[in-house]
């Protein structure tokens, strides 16, 4: 099984860890493995985003796959694909994937500028898609709710905008996160938990109401 929502969140948090602690990772010989692990995810996410308004967010049948104890190389079952698009939007998963791409673009900015630019292009497209075509993916695709149900998309939109601001320096992303959208979703001054489903604490770490970035 490949669940795109928690996978994208894993990439974002791994990028954050590398950006914060990359020097320490390098000192103990773990920076290259961390970057390799991140790139394994982002390569997949790039392939899962074949066009601006299409994102594949799940591979496999969770019921059948969770009953199967074969090694992946031996499996012959069908691999159904699930996507979000303009008629079946998923702002939460699309915005989280945008955050993953934007944060990873910072990780690879010096080591591989071409790859970094590719990630940033996907991040911008996915953010626009998530914002323009709003919807909760687990409401539009009810079968995914059993495994990774989403409770909303406002936190992911702000989280993605924050990372895109850091990756691009474009003030429009900062204004997005601290303007009306921030008023609607950020809950500034009310810290909350941080998880694959709720990124408000992470967003609050980066942004405060006076439009100052804190990363």
pLDDT at residue 191 is higher than 80: no
70 CB-near residues (< 8 Å, 6+ apart)? none
Half-sphere exposure of 44 (CA within 13 A, CB side): 19
Contact by Cβ (8 Å): 98, 160: yes
- Residue 197 is given by DSSP the state S
pLDDT-derived band at 10 (thresholds 50, 70, 90) equals very high
pLDDT at residue 149 is higher than 70: yes
- Residue 144 is given by DSSP the state G
Confidence (pTM): 0.92
CATH of domain 2-213: 1.50.10.10
* Structure tokens belonging to residue 151: 């409770």
Give 107-146 pLDDT, tens digit per residue.
999 999 999 999 999 999 999 999 999 999 999 999 899 9
Contact by Cβ (8 Å): 153, 91: yes
Cα separations (Å) of 76 from 3, 57, 71, 204?
19, 21, 10, 45
How big is the chain, counted in residues? 215
Tell me the C-alpha distance between 113 and 209, whole Å.
33
More confident call, 183 vs 37: 37
């Amino acid at each position: 099984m490949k669940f795109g929502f928690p996978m994208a969140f894993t990439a974002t948090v791994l990028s954050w860890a590398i950006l914060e602690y990359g020097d320490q990772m390098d000192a103990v010989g773990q920076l290259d493995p961390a970057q390799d692990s991140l790139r394994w995810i982002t390569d997949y996410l790039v392939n899962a985003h074949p066009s601006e308004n299409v994102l594949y967010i799940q591979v496999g049948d969770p019921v059948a796959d969770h009953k199967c104890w074969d090694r992946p190389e031996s499996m012959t079952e069908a691999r159904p694909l699930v996507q979000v698009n303009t008629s079946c939007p998923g702002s939460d998963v699309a915005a989280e994937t945008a955050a993953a791409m934007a944060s990873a673009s910072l990780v690879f900015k010096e080591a591989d500028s071409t790859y970094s630019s590719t990630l940033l292009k996907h991040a911008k497209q996915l953010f626009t898609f998530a914002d323009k075509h709003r919807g909760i993916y687990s409401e539009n695709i009810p079968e995914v709710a059993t495994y990774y149900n989403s409770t909303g998309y406002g936190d992911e939109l702000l989280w993605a905008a924050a990372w895109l601001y850091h990756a691009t320096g474009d003030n429009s992303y900062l204004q997005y996160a601290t303007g009306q959208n921030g008023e609607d979703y950020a809950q500034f001054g009310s810290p909350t938990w941080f998880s694959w489903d709720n990124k408000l604490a992470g967003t609050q770490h980066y942004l405060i109401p006076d439009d100052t970035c804190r990363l």
